[in-house]
Structure 1
Amino acid sequence: MTEQHRGGKGNFAEDPKRASEAGRKGGQQSGGNFKNDPQRASEAGQKGGEKSRRS
């Protein structure tokens, strides 16, 4: 049985161009957490503010 060199540092360790393309595609697929729902973003911000206050 012969062994193949696989890099060992992740799928894209030896091909930065391929890694860049994959990252770009992932970013395009993501719509952003609150991009289309500003009301939801506002509510989340208020909840975060409540949790950060100490009595």
Structure 2
Amino acid sequence: MAKKESKGEISVREAGRRGGTTTKERHGPEFYKQIGHKGGQKVKELIERGKAAEK
């Protein structure tokens, strides 16, 4: 993919990368582990609710 050069603007991809890097520096790898677990628990809960609604 060709890079676009513009004056002072960054791509969405670059903004996401910078935000992720900043978050990692501020909170550390344990933060990602915690939010991943939290998200997994939410998915599990939603699946269980869906199965219960089918019955």
What's the TM-score bracket when you normalise by the shorter of the two chains? 0.3 to 0.5
Bigger fraction of residues in helix: 2
Work out which of the two has the higher radius of gyration on C-alpha atoms and give 1 or 2.
1
